[in-house]
Amino acid sequence: MSKHSLAFKLSVVEFYEKGERSCREVGAHFGVDHGTVLKWVASYEAHGAAGLAKKFSRYDAAFKLSVLQRMWEDGLSYRQTAALFDIRNKSCLADWERCYKTGGIDALTPSCRGRLRSMRAPPISKQPQALQSDEAKSREELLAELNSLRMENAYLKKLEALTREQPALKKRKSSKR
């Protein structure tokens, strides 16, 4: 929800356009930053009351590039450019400019929104490793598999020995009391 209603914004703009007070005085009177007053006035002058209404939009890369080119050609500030193109957040123009200078037009494409999938789909191999025949494997692959199986076997033997030893340790501890 917007912090300020459309009616409030219109009253601030109308009060400023009377020309009796500066933007700082109007901002102090309404409890709003003077920069916000200037933004609302510029947006109202460029787009009318629709420029003050709440807006949700995403921009494609071509639009972003055209906005940046117009800003550079006419020597406009971020605030002026945002008011001209009805972009509510002028700071996104600085982000677009930085992205364009570092990555070109591809960096301006909108990114995916939302949460990423928690689990990726496993890659589908042509043939599962267990089904490959031993004849198809090279000598190095067979030796690596043999070494892996030996390590697994040694690990399982050690685990079994430790689990057998656990009850014996418990008995000794209880008898010492």
pLDDT of residue 174: 56
Q: Is residue 81 assigned to a domain?
A: yes
Q: Are residues 40 and 64 in the same domain?
A: no
Q: Are residues 62 and 24 in the same domain?
A: no
> Could you tell me the residue range of the domain that residue 77 belongs to?
56-111
Q: Is residue 91 assigned to a domain?
A: yes
Please count the structural domains in the chain: 3
pLDDT of residue 177: 52
Q: Are residues 143 and 158 in the same domain?
A: yes
The DSSP secondary structure of 50-99, one letter per residue, reads: GGTS-------HHHHHHHHHHHHHHT--HHHHHHHTT-S-THHHHHHHHH
Mean pLDDT by 10 residues, the chain (177 residues): 80 87 88 89 83 78 90 90 83 90 85 73 65 79 92 93 78 57
Q: Is residue 120 assigned to a domain?
A: no
Q: Are residues 15 and 62 in the same domain?
A: no
